[in-house]
């Protein structure tokens, strides 16, 4: 199993989760963090450290956030390792809890083709949420 960073981390990037991780499993992008699934040891320490409840264990990822499971794995191979959390982004408090933030996720160009497969919206139980990613590039 692993743990997964989900949508509410976008544009927040509080670093408190990173500081408690015993194996440096986090990777850092411009406005989002991910967890490397091969490094995570499922200690669960980071979950309660996230002030915006963005981290879930693999089996508890909400339906509308399932797209972040492969996204964490993919970006963990692209973004650099992070061992210290640092400060949150300047407007983190304003972005906390905002819905539909994934359109603001800044992604590297080299993974955009791999992400095309996730662009197709999926019908969810609520019928009101899409897992489609609108990609912004660095």
Query: Could you tell me the smallest distance in angstroms from the CB atom of residue 94 to ligand SF4?
Result: 13
Q: Count Cβ atoms within 10 A of the Cβ of residue 94 and give its class: 0-12 exposed, 13-18 middle, 19 or more buried.
A: exposed
Query: Could you tell me the smallest distance in angstroms from the CB atom of residue 127 to ligand SF4?
Result: 28
Q: How many CB atoms lie within 10 A of CB 92?
A: 17
Residues in contact with ligand SF4 by CB under 6 A are: 3, 5, 9, 12-17, 20-21, 23, 25, 33, 35, 40-46, 49-50, 52, 54-55
Q: Count Cβ atoms within 10 A of the Cβ of residue 59 and give its class: 0-12 exposed, 13-18 middle, 19 or more buried.
A: exposed
Nearer to ligand SF4, 28 or 122 (CB): 28
Nearer to ligand SF4, 13 or 102 (CB): 13
* Closest-CA residue to 96 (of 7, 5, 3, 4): 7
Nearer to ligand SF4, 42 or 63 (CB): 42
């Amino acid at each position: 199993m692993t743990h997964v960073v989900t949508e509410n981390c976008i544009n927040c990037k509080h670093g408190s989760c990173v500081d408690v991780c015993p194996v440096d499993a986090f990777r850092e992008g411009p406005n989002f963090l991910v967890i490397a699934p091969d490094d995570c040891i499922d200690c669960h320490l980071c979950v309660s450290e996230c002030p915006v409840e963005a981290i879930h264990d693999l089996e508890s990822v909400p339906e509308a956030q399932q797209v972040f499971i492969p996204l964490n794995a993919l970006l963990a191979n692209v973004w650099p390792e992070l061992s210290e959390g640092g400060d949150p982004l300047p407007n983190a408090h304003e972005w906390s809890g905002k819905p539909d933030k994934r359109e603001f996720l800044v992604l590297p160009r080299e993974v955009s083709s791999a992400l095309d497969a996730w662009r197709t919206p999926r019908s969810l139980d609520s019928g009101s949420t899409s897992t489609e990613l609108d990609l912004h590039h660095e």
